[in-house]
Structure 1
Amino acid sequence: MRIALAAMLALLLAGCGKLDREHYEQLKMGMTYDEVATILGKADRCDDVLGTSSCIWGKEKKNIQVKFIAGKAALFSSEGIN
């Protein structure tokens, strides 16, 4: 049981490790979702509306958000990252 708990904790911490200024600064205009996901991992949530997609990595107080237009990154924002 301890091993399973330790493994789960390690996975949670690894996912949070990409929500920092270093990874945010690697994002570039025109990247595809797959290119962004290579840097940040799989998005926690994506919402698609009228040919645009807004994806968020992280939670309310610490996150990176990328808006894709026609499949390409167009806008970036972050909250609570160092």
Structure 2
Amino acid sequence: MSFRPLALIVACVLLVACNKVNQANYSKLQAGMSKAEVEQLLGAPRECAGALGITSCTWGDEQTLISVQYAGDKVLMFSGKGLK
């Protein structure tokens, strides 16, 4: 028996299990958290944009995402879509 198919299956399961964009992590977000705390929880954001001290960062894709808005370095508000 080849280990290649088994290794591929294990890798896929680990990738799904490592997805940090989920309801459990969304529930841990709180206003006032620092950017570092959010990135420790969710990993690096997919993208960020901002102006005048307000930054918006997103994690995930179009179907499943978490969006966090920062004032300076602190979470101001956040929202989620399609979380499981």
By the TM > 0.5 criterion, same fold? yes
Map 1:2-81 to 2 at 5 A.
Answer: 6=8, 9=12, 12-16=15-19, 18-81=20-83
SS at match of 2:28: coil
Consecutive unaligned residues of structure 1, counting only runs of 5 or more, are none
Counting matched residue pairs gives 79
Say what the alpha-carbon RMSD is for the aligned residues: 2.1
Q: Give the whole-Å Cα distance in 2 for the aligned partners of 1:33 and 1:21.
A: 19
Runs (4 or more) in structure 1 with deviation over 2 Å come to 5-16
| Pair 8,50 (structure 1): closer, same or farther in 2 beyond 3 Å | farther
| TM-score, with length taken from structure 2 | 0.79
How far is the alpha carbon of 1:12 from its aligned partner? 4.5
| TM-score, with length taken from structure 1 | 0.80
Q: Give the whole-Å Cα distance in 1 for the aligned partners of 2:50 and 2:13.
A: 31
| Pair 73,10 (structure 1): closer, same or farther in 2 beyond 3 Å | same
| Pair 11,49 (structure 1): closer, same or farther in 2 beyond 3 Å | farther
Larger Rg computed on CA atoms: 2
